[in-house]
Amino acid sequence: MAAARPGGVAASQSAWRAGTIFGLLGIAPDLDFLVGAHSSYTHSLGATILVGLAAWALFTPRSVPFALACAAAWGSHLLLDWLGTDGSVPIGVMALWPFDDGYYLSSAGWFLPIHRDFAQPGIVAHTFRAIAWELLLLGPIAAAAVWFRRR
Ligand SMILES: [Zn+2]
């Protein structure tokens, strides 16, 4: 019978829990689709700060590094949207709200635009191309993060 490693299962469950929380926080800014305000307040520095404060206040034990990680997970969405392409008005994200309510988009164009008109010809193929491209760009970064975390 193998000896249990200290914190092996608990550490693994904790890592999965944190990964799930960070993953959900990474996609949560797009919930603004539900209220017809896409790319606005939820895609901002203000929302990122609020998420960090909420994580600090709501999760126990209170942890500044965990709160910062939650804010970084939320903020990563803003960064990736800013680096992408946007064909829907308003163009870009309201990145600096509440300090500035302008919309910003980098000229990098790293990611393909995501169309929301599902009746458009070729939309399914385009969406799969966009997903494949995002996986190609971000997969190695995610793999490196997992590798680094396990060391
Ligand atoms: Zn978004």
What is the residue-level pLDDT of the chain in tens, covering all 151 positions? 444 455 567 777 888 888 899 999 999 999 998 998 889 999 999 999 999 999 999 988 889 999 999 999 999 999 999 999 988 888 999 999 999 999 999 999 999 987 777 788 898 999 999 999 999 999 999 899 889 988 8
Q: 3: CA distance to ligand 1 center in Å?
A: 46
Inter-axis angle of helices 64-83 and 45-58, nearest 10: 150
Are 34 and 81 within one domain? yes
Angle 57-12-150 (CA atoms, 0-180°, nearest 5)?
100
Q: 12: CA distance to ligand 1 center in Å?
A: 30
Q: What is the pLDDT of residue 6?
A: 52
3-class DSSP state of 108: coil
Please check whether residue 106 lies inside any domain of the structure: yes
Q: What is the pLDDT of residue 9?
A: 73
Residue 46, domain extent: 24-111
Task: Please tell me the distance from the alpha carbon of residue 142 to that of residue 113, in angstroms, as a whole number.
Answer: 22
Q: 74: CA distance to ligand 1 center in Å?
A: 10
Please check whether residue 14 lies inside any domain of the structure: no
Please report which helix (H) or strand (E) contains residue 149, including its range.
helix 123-150
Q: What is the pLDDT of residue 114?
A: 79
Please check whether residue 96 lies inside any domain of the structure: yes
Q: 2: CA distance to ligand 1 center in Å?
A: 46
Are 83 and 118 within one domain? no
Are 117 and 107 within one domain? no
Please check whether residue 128 lies inside any domain of the structure: yes
Q: 80: CA distance to ligand 1 center in Å?
A: 8
Q: What is the pLDDT of residue 64?
A: 95
Q: 17: CA distance to ligand 1 center in Å?
A: 23
